Structure formats: structure tokens, C-alpha cells
Chains A and B, each alone.
Chain A
Amino acid sequence: MGHDIFEITINAIKLIVCFLIIVQAVPVLVWAERRGSAFIQNRLGPNRIGPLGLLQLAADAVKFFFKEEFAPANAVKFLYYAAPIFALIPATVAFAAIPLGAPVQWNEHIFRLQGYEINVGIVFILAVSSLAPYSILMAGWGSGNKYALMGALRASAQVISYELALGLSIVGMIMTYGTFNLSEMIQAQQAPLSYSLLGFTLPLNFLPAWGIFYQPLGAILFFAASFAESNRLPFDLAEGEAELVAGFHVEYGGFKMLLFFIGEYGHMIVASALMVLFYFGGYVIPGIPMETLNQWALEHAPDANFASLLAGLITLVCFLVKVVVFLWIFIQVRWTLPRFRYDQLMDLGWKTMLPWALFNTILTATLIYVAHL
């Protein structure tokens, strides 16, 4: 984790902060979702407690805390309690691998604004998120309820089906950048945009070389698949109320329910962050290269350490703003589209998105090959 005690301490703090970001984002997102849905549906939403209903979050937390502790009689106790705890882990571990801002240079130490730097970042994040079905299956089996079990099987079948489309849709992107490393991807997206094919070059200098301009189809597929991965509407078949009551967490309440919520919103945050990273330039401010920003920070800070810290914080804010935009799209979509039927969902995953992702891969490979002839 580091070479000396200072570095180890800072790294441990960073990891805990990453976790707290996810935990703290959830009440804010829940509030945004309730206000946003009210706005979309021409209602008021929570507005009684505190300014704009903001204290509703605290009230909810207190309410959850005083809920009765209880497990159904025919539950498998160990799995029943382990499932919500395990629901937190994949999202947190994946989120900690995402670079949130430019690295900060403090004397001889370099601190990256991320939990840990992993040189096969994408594979790591995919691998960790592929562990998510366990929590669902444990909850479904542990509850000892047939609705929970049905919901868990549906949810995990959905998650693994869309994992295929998710995994395949980023192959083209990996090919474009030629790396698995997330930091190198951000580096690659800083240059101005230019298309080159068969010796001709079309410079579009007013646009940054973001992945979305090279991989529009891949970006759409990735974003759609990540909706399904985080069990959000229109893909929330796991908890189709009409036929399955609440899916795999029907027997859960209080803080156990809240932990599932944190896991679900955590997946949403990771998906938005990945979207920003892969296709929208990461933490770099559009139009302002990192050199300009560093120069500006040097002029406005007392010394190099603080200048680096300032630049890091600005990029962090920029990254969070971009992520918030995508989180809002998640919320907007949830309150706009109706739910699929289960067979439609599976058809979309296997027969529509997978072939299109394949097409995207072949097209990208062909274009890259032709461009280098």
C-alpha cells in the first residue's frame, strides 16, 4: 500500500474516503430522485423537513435506525445477514479503482486521487462487478421465500446476460486506446479530435478526443447495459412488484434494506464514473488541457505542493460534475420509461445488444486496420 508510514496512512484514508463517498452519495441521490421524480410528475416531493426537504435524509436515516430487528423463521440466518453486507463490497472495491482527479505531487510522494492504481483497471472493475450476483443469490436463498428466490434467479440471470453486452461493448474502446489502464485512457483523451483514414486527416480541433466521438455505438451499448447491471428501471425486473412483490429483498427491512440500496446506488455511481472515464474524457476539463490548468494553479498557489493539490481538487470537482450529469440521466430514465417484460429484456440483451456489440467490435477493428494501411 505504500513505502513508508505516511504514504500508508494517506492511502488508507483515501480508501475510506472512497467508501464514504459512496455511502454519503446515497441519501443525496435518494433525495434527488424523490425531488426529481416529483418535478417530472408535476408534484412537490418531500418539502416539509428542512430547506427543500433536505433534512428528509437525516430523518430517513433515523427512521431506518429504529426499525425492528427481525429475520423470518425459515430464513437461513447466516446467508440472510451476510447478503446485505456483501452487497456493499463489489461497488466499493470497483469505485476505489477509478481515478477521480489528477495525481497530487506532495514533495517526493505522488498521491493519485483514487483508492489504488491498477494497471488492468477495466478488467479489475469488470471482475469485481461480476461478483455482484452472489449477494443477490445469497439474499434470495437466505430469505427462505419463494418470491425472493424467483426474484434472485431473475435478477442474476439478467445481470449475467447483460454482462456479456457490457463486456463486448468496451472491446472496441480498448482497441481504440490499446490499454487496460484507466489513467492512460484519460491521457489518450486529452488531445484534440482528429479522424484519420487512408492517409486523409480530418482535424476537428475545437473538440477533445473523447471516446464518444470514436465509439458512439459502444457508448450507447455500454450505458444501456450498465442500466441493466445496476438493476435500474427500465431493467428492474428483479423487483417487478406485480408478480414478485419486491424481488430478492422482499424479506428485508431497516438497515439491511438500506445496505442493499447503497449497493444498488453504488453500482449506478460506478457505471456513471466509467461512462465519464471511457467516453467523456475523465477528470480533464473540456477545452482546458492539463498543462494550462497546472500553470494556472502554480500562479495562484503558495508553492508547488499546494498548486498540485489545487489542480487535483479542481479536476476532482470536474469529474464529479460529469458523474452527476450521468446520475441525473439514470434518474430521468427511471421516471420516463416503463418496465420491460422479462422475455423482452432477455431478447434485448441476447438478440439485439450482443449482435450490435459484435458489429461494433468488427467495425472498429476494420477501421483501425484500414487506417494503418
Chain B
Amino acid sequence: MTADVFLFWFLAIVTLAGGLTTIMITNPIYSALSLAFTMVGVSALFVTLNAYFLAGVQLIVYAGAVTVLFVMVLMMFDLKHEVTAFTRGKISGMVKSGIVAVLAGILVGSISLTTDIFSKSGAAPEAVIGGDTTKELGKVLFSKYIFGFEALGILLLMVAIGAVALARSKGGTHAKQ
């Protein structure tokens, strides 16, 4: 077992544990913190795939910004006592769990059936991108995907305006008593 393989299994277990804790634990604050933990795990998995820059972006955007927002909102709401974390109703819960299980089976099955196609048609291990992918990323982003890039700029502007408008709707800037 080489170091890389060991690292993958370690990170996979850690990430899965984080992800499952996020949806299982009843206290939303712990949920958000384990979500942050999962994000860090996913970012480390990006590093094992040589996507160094994306790993950093994942940490900055998801772990450093999005989840911090979650934690801050939860702290503002003060939702300590949540009696019913999960859906009530045994039958509907079972149906939902069953749907999830079926989806999991379909996904894993289809992956294991189709990976042969990818490994044959696609890249031999030599074609795998190695080393520094950051500059390559920049070059592709600013030539092929330049329009999407500008569109995202507009999207972010819209969201900034919309979020401010929503946050101030009714009741001013302070929570109502």
C-alpha cells in the first residue's frame, strides 16, 4: 500500500464521516461545523488529484466563507433546542430513505459498470495532468470560458443587490421581538 493510496482511503473515510455527521446530528451548529470539516476533506482530495489551486479556492470559498456564513446565521438564530430534527411520519420517512438507497445503488452500479469504458477510451495514465495545473487553468478560463466568466460577474452583482434587498425587507436591520 503506497502513501498515495493510504492518503486516499484516510481522506475518504474522514470526508464521509464529516458528511454523514452533517446530516445525522441534531444540533445545527455541530452540523455546520462538520460541514466545514467535510469541505476541508474534499479540498484535501482535490490536492490528491493535483488540483492545487482549486483546493485552495475550495477552502477559501466553502470552508472560509460559505460555512462561516452558516455558522454566523445559526448563532444569530440561537436554535439550540430543536426537538424534531428529522421528518415525522414513519412511512414517508421510509419511502424517502428507500428512494435514497435506490439512488445510491443506481449511482454506484452505473459507475462500476461504466468505468471500463473510460479507462479504455480515454486517457492512459500518462495523459493524466501532472504538476502545476494553475496556469493551465487560467489559460483555459480566460480564452475558452471568458463569456461564462463575465456572466458570473453579472450574476454575483445581481446576487449582491438581491441579498441586500432581501435582508432589509420588513422590520429594519434588527430582529423583531
A–B touching in complex (CB under 8 Å): yes
> Chain A residues with Cβ under 8 A from B59's Cβ?
127-128, 130-131
Q: How far is the CA of A152 from the CA of B76 in the complex (A)?
A: 11
For the complex, is A180 an interface residue (Cβ under 8 Å from B)? yes
Residues of B participating in the A interface, judged by any CB pair closer than 8 Å = 3, 29, 33, 36, 40, 43, 52-53, 55-57, 59-60, 63-65, 68, 71-72, 75-76, 132, 134
Q: Give A2's nearest chain B residue, CB to CB.
A: B3
Q: How far is the CA of A79 from the CA of B34 in the complex (A)?
A: 12
Stretch in contact with the other chain, from A54-62, A137-145, A252-260, A288-296: A137-145
Please classify the interface of chain A as helix (H, G, I), strand (E, B), loop, or mixed, using the class held by over half of its residues.
helix
> Chain B residues with Cβ under 8 A from A152's Cβ?
75
Q: Are B72 and A137 in contact (CB under 8 A)?
A: yes
For the complex, is A120 an interface residue (Cβ under 8 Å from B)? yes
Q: How far is the CA of A180 from the CA of B60 in the complex (A)?
A: 15
Smallest Cβ distance from A168 to chain B, in angstroms? 13
Q: Are A153 and B56 in contact (CB under 8 A)?
A: no
1/0 contact string of A177-207 vs chain B (CB within 8 Å): 0001000000000000000000000000000
For the complex, is A119 an interface residue (Cβ under 8 Å from B)? yes
> Chain B residues with Cβ under 8 A from A134's Cβ?
33, 36, 68, 71
8 A Cβ contacts from A138-173 to B: 138, 140-141, 149, 152-153, 156, 160, 163
8 Å CB contact of A140 from B60, B64, B75? B75
Q: How far is the CA of A137 from the CA of B29 in the complex (A)?
A: 11
Q: Are B52 and A120 in contact (CB under 8 A)?
A: yes
Smallest Cβ distance from B117 to chain A, in angstroms? 33
> Chain A residues with Cβ under 8 A from B43's Cβ?
127
Interface residues on A, range: 20 to 34
Smallest Cβ distance from B148 to chain A, in angstroms? 21
Q: Are A126 and B60 in contact (CB under 8 A)?
A: yes
8 Å CB contact of B75 from A119, A153, A163? A153
Q: Give A160's nearest chain B residue, CB to CB.
A: B68
Q: Are A126 and B52 in contact (CB under 8 A)?
A: no
Q: How far is the CA of A138 from the CA of B68 in the complex (A)?
A: 11
Kindly list the 7 A-B residue pairs having the minimum CB-CB distance in the complex, ordered from nearest: A130-B64, A123-B56, A127-B59, A127-B56, A120-B52, A127-B60, A130-B60
Q: How far is the CA of A188 from the CA of B75 in the complex (A)?
A: 46
8 Å CB contact of A131 from B55, B64, B132? B64
| Given A118-B52, A124-B56, A131-B63, 20 further pairs, Cβ under 8 A | A119-B52, A120-B53, A120-B56, A120-B134, A123-B56, A123-B57, A123-B60, A126-B56, A127-B55, A127-B57, A130-B59, A130-B63, A131-B40, A131-B64, A134-B68, A137-B68, A137-B71, A138-B33, A153-B76, A160-B68
